[in-house]
Structure 1
Amino acid sequence: MRSLYVPSADAHVRWTDIPGEGAPHVYLHGLGSAGSADFTGIAVHPGLAGRRAIVVDLFGHGFSDRPETFPGTLEAHADTVAAVLDHGAVRGAVLVGHSMGGAVAIVLAARRPELCSRVVVAEPNLRAGGGLYSSGIAAQPERDFVDHGFRALLAELEPEYAARMRTADPAIVHRSAVSLVRGTAPGVAQLFHGLTQPRVLIVGVRSRPYPDEDAVRQAGIPVLEVPDAGHHMAGDNTPGFVSALLRATPSDHPASPGL
């Protein structure tokens, strides 16, 4: 696992770099999870053999540090990923983001378009207001969530998600949830529709009706589905998610310098 000290956070962000050819797939995980838990198995799947992958743990998640003053906003997470890519002089990466990670990918692509050649998002937070868990987290004061709400949430989650969430920093989870509820200006959906890079939305069939799907289609953005899967599609149907990812990411992207 690789590590980079980020001065603005006074902390180290960590990621796994899986060797391969072409522009790297940069995997960005959802709220309370970790790239090392969610995406390492995807990145080394036989269907993606030979493609380079950068699997990031965002601050407060997985193996990355838990800086006390990190704001946890979508913009701050995006800037952290940008620091990782700048560190290795990576340009033209393929961003692959799930849930909150999808929103982070969209914000990053809008702020630093030279860093990515394609944006693939799996059920991202496209609108303010939060999702199934983030809205409930953000409704609590941060101190209350850290002291009591985090443990209560762990008791309610499905075991596999709880195992991932348990390794996360409660304060950064709360701040990230607040950012998802507040949204961005312009909004994440508006940013997504306006990106110049090729974009793809992936939806789990069990998640339908997915509220933003029609608007995404109307914006001319392809929508791919993963059968037999809900929001946690990479775990619900790993082969189906890999198949959708292969359709979303042609293999003829230009090579990118290494980290």
Structure 2
Amino acid sequence: MADPGVAGGGYDSAWDDLELPELDEHLPPWPGTVEESGGVRLHVRRTEPELTPDGAPTAVYVHGLGGSSTNWTDLGRLLAPWARGVAVDLPGFGLSEPEDGFDYSLRAHADRVARFVRGFGDGPVHVLGNSMGGAIAILLAARWPELVRSVTLVSPAVPDLRPSIKRLSDPRLALAYLPVIGTRARQQLIAMTPEQRVRQVIELCYHDPSRLPPHRLAEMVEEYRQRSGHAWAVTAMGRSTLGIVRDWVARGPRSLWRALEEITAPSLVVWGERDRVISARKAVRTVRALRRGRLLMLQDTGHVAQMEQPQRVAQA
């Protein structure tokens, strides 16, 4: 394969000749609504139709653990002249209520996104995923290649079993499910305000939290407040976390590394060199596993490059 830092291995850019529009720093989240497609009901946000020419392909954006469709506001706007943006709230996240019995495994999430996309009925889509959403995008592209035009993986949640408490937004999360002391840890976490919890997540996921505009912080706090009011929110977070770990320890045909090898679509891997959640050391192995992959490493960037450096990601 060619040097993973440049195009190679049969890679064709999904976004040729891009001249990016100017990004409005005060851009609000895209309009959102609950939609049913392919028998799946999800809350989604779509870029404004007038931004995209008729006949343009669709780009589907998949957020990470604890995230939502609003994680793609800026990048989706930058790419809207070339692709209609559809950002999904995964079951149990954002404003998507999970169906009864949903098991929150990565494969269950990927299945729901695949069914939702198939219901569009307008051909393959560009799939972009961050963190857990990146792992879901890997499974989607490997299992349903006919649905995928290209794949962009932003710090995907590939297996990374480092036992480091620094990877948690709050050290008490490591204690929350232990006997006896777990009860107190959970009570302390519940007592935190939405703004305190959101700031913890930002400190973990951003290399430079000052890049987050105040109105974005306010949006995230309000969204956290809304979601935490639902009975399914804690279950979705805990069981999705467990689902990630189960896939990380899987071997053979169920391994995420094996799934990467099966992807035939052109693929871009984006990683922040300062990522504290999923080690940037996984980047080269990830791109080398892909048949048609290339890698963009971003300096002074953390776990959510599409939020911290949307212009750089769009230009890739």
Q: Which category describes the TM-score, using the shorter chain as reference length?
A: 0.7 to 0.9
Structure 2 partner of 1:114: 146
**1:222 aligns to what SS in structure 2?**
strand
Larger mean Cα displacement after TM superposition, 109-118 or 159-168? 159-168
Contact 2:58 2:126 in 1 (8 A): yes
Structure 2 partner of 1:170: 234
- Identify the match of residue 12 of structure 1 among 41, 46, 52: 41
TM-score (norm 1): 0.77
Structure 2 partner of 1:151: 190
Task: Indicate whether 1:125 and 2:195 are aligned.
Answer: no
- Identify the match of residue 244 of structure 2 among 180, 188, 194: 180
* CA shift for structure 1 position 65: 1.1
TM-score (norm 2): 0.65
Q: How many residues align?
A: 239
Task: Indicate whether 1:205 and 2:273 are aligned.
Answer: yes
Aligned CA distance change for structure 1 residues 128 and 226 (closer, same or farther; 3 Å): closer
Aligned CA distance change for structure 1 residues 113 and 176 (closer, same or farther; 3 Å): same
**1:44 aligns to what SS in structure 2?**
helix
- Identify the match of residue 312 of structure 2 among 225, 236, 240: 240
1:128, 1:139 → 2: CA distance? 20
Contact 2:110 2:137 in 1 (8 A): yes
Structure 2 partner of 1:231: 303
2:314, 2:107 → 1: CA distance? 28
Structure 2 partner of 1:38: 71
Aligned CA distance change for structure 1 residues 177 and 22 (closer, same or farther; 3 Å): same
* CA shift for structure 1 position 200: 1.5
1:195, 1:229 → 2: CA distance? 27
**2:274 aligns to what SS in structure 1?**
helix
**2:57 aligns to what SS in structure 1?**
strand
**1:104 aligns to what SS in structure 2?**
helix
* CA shift for structure 1 position 92: 1.4
Superposed CA deviations along residues 6-45 of structure 1, whole A, max 9, x for unmatched, are 86xxx8312123333432111000001101x111232112
Contact 1:142 1:174 in 2 (8 A): no
2:57, 2:74 → 1: CA distance? 19
Give RMSD over aligned pairs: 3.4
1:170, 1:237 → 2: CA distance? 30
Q: Where do 5+ consecutive residues of structure 1 fail to align?
A: 245-259
The structure number with the bigger radius of gyration is: 2
1:217, 1:104 → 2: CA distance? 16
* CA shift for structure 1 position 67: 3.7
1:207, 1:117 → 2: CA distance? 27
2:153, 2:271 → 1: CA distance? 9
2:287, 2:87 → 1: CA distance? 28
* CA shift for structure 1 position 86: 1.9
Superposed CA deviations along residues 185-206 of structure 1, whole A, max 9, x for unmatched, are 5211221132111222101132
1:28, 1:98 → 2: CA distance? 7
Residues 38-117 of structure 1 mapped to structure 2, 5 A cutoff: 38-45=71-78, 48-117=80-149
Structure 1 or 2: more strand by fraction: 1
- Identify the match of residue 58 of structure 2 among 11, 19, 24: 24
2:91, 2:152 → 1: CA distance? 21
Aligned CA distance change for structure 1 residues 3 and 147 (closer, same or farther; 3 Å): farther
Q: Percent identity?
A: 25
